[in-house]
Structure 1
Amino acid sequence: MSVVLRRAALAYLIVWQLSPPLAYGAGWRFLAVLAMLLWLALDTLAARSVLRRPNWPVLGGAAFVLYTVFVEWLVPDSASISRQFQIWIMFFFLLVGESQQRGRSDEARFCFWVILLVLPIWSIATLWGINTIGGDVSRTIARSSEEARELVGQGIGGFGFVYTLVLCIPFLVHLAFRSGVYSVMRQPRWKVRASRLLILGNLLLAALVVLRAGYTIALILAAFAILCVLLIRSRRSRSLAISLCFVTLLVSLAGILINPALRSLESVAAGTEYSAKVRDVRASLEDDSSTGTVHDRTERYSRSLRLFGENPIIGTLTFDDVGKHSAVLDRFAQYGAVFGLLFLALLMFVPIRYLRSRQVPIGLSLSFLVVAIGFPMLNNVFMSWGLILYVFSRGAFVVMGIPLERSRQPMGQVRAAHA
Structure 2
Amino acid sequence: MKLNIISLQNFALAILCLWIMSPPLTADPLARAVALLALVTWGLLEIVRTNGIFLRPTWPVLGAGLFIAYDLTLWYMLREWTLVSHIQMYILFTLLIIYESRRHDPKSLAPVFWTMMLTLPIWWFSTIRGFDTFGAHAARTVVRSSDESLELMQQGVGGYPLIYSSLILIPVLVLMTFRWRLFDTSSAPRFLRAFPRAFRLMPPVMLALIAILVLRAGFTIAVILLVATLAVSLMYLRTRPWILLMAPLVALFLVILGQIFLQDITELLIPLADGTSFVHKLRDLQLSLEAGGSTGTVADRTERYLRSINSFLQNPIFGVLGDRGVGNHSAYLDYFAQRGLFFGMLYMGLMLYLPVRMLRQHPGMLSMTGGVLAVMILFPLLNSVTMAVGVVLFIMFPVACAITREFGSNPKPPRPATSTARRVSPA
TM-score interval, normalised by the smaller of the two chains: 0.7 to 0.9
Instruction: State the match for 2:392 in structure 1.
Output: 388
Other-structure match for 2:418: none
Q: Which whole-Å CA distance do the structure 2 matches of 1:256 and 1:192 have between them?
A: 48
- Alpha-carbon distance between aligned partners in 1 of 2:185 and 2:151, rounded to the nearest angstrom: 42
- Aligned CA distance change for structure 1 residues 386 and 46 (closer, same or farther; 3 Å): same
Q: 1:302 to 1:281 in 2, by over 3 A?
A: closer
Alpha-carbon distance in 1 for matches of 2:162, 2:203: 18
Q: Deviations over 1:185-242 (max 9, x none)?
A: 3588635434322222211111110111111211111111112111225666653131
- Cα distance in 2 for partners of 1:263, 1:312 equals 42
CA distance in structure 2 between the aligned counterparts of 1:35 and 1:149, rounded to whole angstroms: 23
Change (3 A) 1:307 1:263: closer
Q: Distance in 1 between matches of 2:36 and 2:43?
A: 11
Number of aligned residue pairs: 395
Instruction: Answer yes or no: is the 8 Å Cα contact 1:354–1:360 preserved in 2.
Output: no
Per-residue CA deviations over 1:375-396 (Å, capped at 9, x if unaligned) read 1111111111111111110111
> Is the CA contact 2:312–2:338 (under 8 Å) kept in the aligned structure 1?
yes
Matched to 2:98, the amino acid is V
- Does structure 1 retain, via aligned residues, the 8 Å contact 2:281–2:298? no
What's 2:282 paired with?
A: 286
Whether 1:148 aligns to 2:149 is yes
In structure 2, relative to structure 1, the CA distance for the partners of 1:138 and 1:239 (3 Å cut) is same
- The letter for the 2-side match of 1:110 is P
Q: Deviations over 1:326-364 (max 9, x none)?
A: 111111111111111111100011111122234442232
Residues 327-346 of structure 1 correspond to what in structure 2 (within 5 A)? 327-346=331-350
Matches within 5 A, 1:206-355: 206-233=210-237, 239-246=243-250, 279-280=275-276, 283=279, 286=282, 291-355=295-359
SS of match in other structure, 1:403: helix
How far off is 1:402 after superposition? 4.1
Mapped pair 1:105 → 2:102: no
Separation (CA, whole Å) in 2 of partners of 1:148 and 1:315: 33
Conserved? CA contact 1:160–1:384, under 8 Å: yes
How far residue 316 of structure 1 moved from its aligned partner, in angstroms, is 1.0
**How many Å separate the matches in 2 of 1:284 and 1:194?**
40
Mean CA deviation greater in 278-287 or 48-57 = 278-287
The CA RMSD over aligned residues, in Å, is 2.7
Counterpart contact for 1:262–1:282, Cα < 8 Å: no
Q: Which amino acid aligns with 2:112?
A: C
Tell me if structure 2 keeps the 8 A contact 1:326–1:380: yes
Task: Look up the equivalent residue of 1:294 and give its one-letter code.
Answer: V
Deviations 1:260-291 (A, max 9, x none): 6766768xxxxxxxxxxx84375376379683
1:183-202 equivalent positions in 2, closer than 5 A:
184-186=184-186, 190-202=194-206
Q: Give the match for residue 23 of structure 1.
A: 26
SS of 1:316's partner is: coil
Aligned with 2:35 (options 21, 32, 35): 32
Structure 1 pair 331/222, CA: closer, same or farther in 2 (3 Å)?
same
- Asked whether the 8 Å contact 1:228–1:247 carries over to 2, the reply is no
1:12 to 2, 12, 15: 15
Letter of the structure 2 residue corresponding to residue 286 of structure 1: L
Structure 1: runs of 5 or more not aligned: 267-277, 410-419
Question: Would you identify which runs of 4 or more consecutive aligned residues in structure 1 move more than 4 Å?
Answer: 186-189, 233-238, 247-266, 287-290
Question: Offset at 1:146?
Answer: 1.8
User: Aligned letter for 2:79?
Assistant: P
Per-residue deviation, 1:305: 0.9
Whether the 8 Å contact between 1:175 and 1:400 is mirrored in structure 2 is no
Decide whether the 8 Å contact of 1:94 with 1:390 is kept in 2: yes
Instruction: Work out whether residues 161 and 386 of structure 2, in 8 Å CA contact, stay in contact via their aligned partners in 1.
Output: yes
In structure 2, what is the Cα distance between the partners aligned to 1:326 and 1:39?
31
1:299 shift after superposition: 1.0
In the alignment, is the contact (CA less than 8 A) between 2:270 and 2:283 conserved in 1?
Answer: no
- Structure 2's unaligned 5+ residue stretches are 287-294, 415-427
Report sequence identity in percent. 35
When residues 18 and 124 of structure 1 are mapped into structure 2, their CA distance, relative to the original with a 3 A threshold, is: same
In 1, Cα distance between the equivalents of 2:406 and 2:148? 44
- SS of the equivalent of 2:201 reads helix
CA distance in 1 between counterparts of 2:216 and 2:265 reads 14
Q: Residues 194, 54 of structure 1: CA spacing in aligned structure 2 closer, same or farther, 3 A cutoff?
A: farther
Deviation string 1:3-46 (CA, Å, 9 cap, x unpaired) is 33212111111210111112232222111111011111112222
Residue 133 of structure 1 aligns with which residue?
A: 134
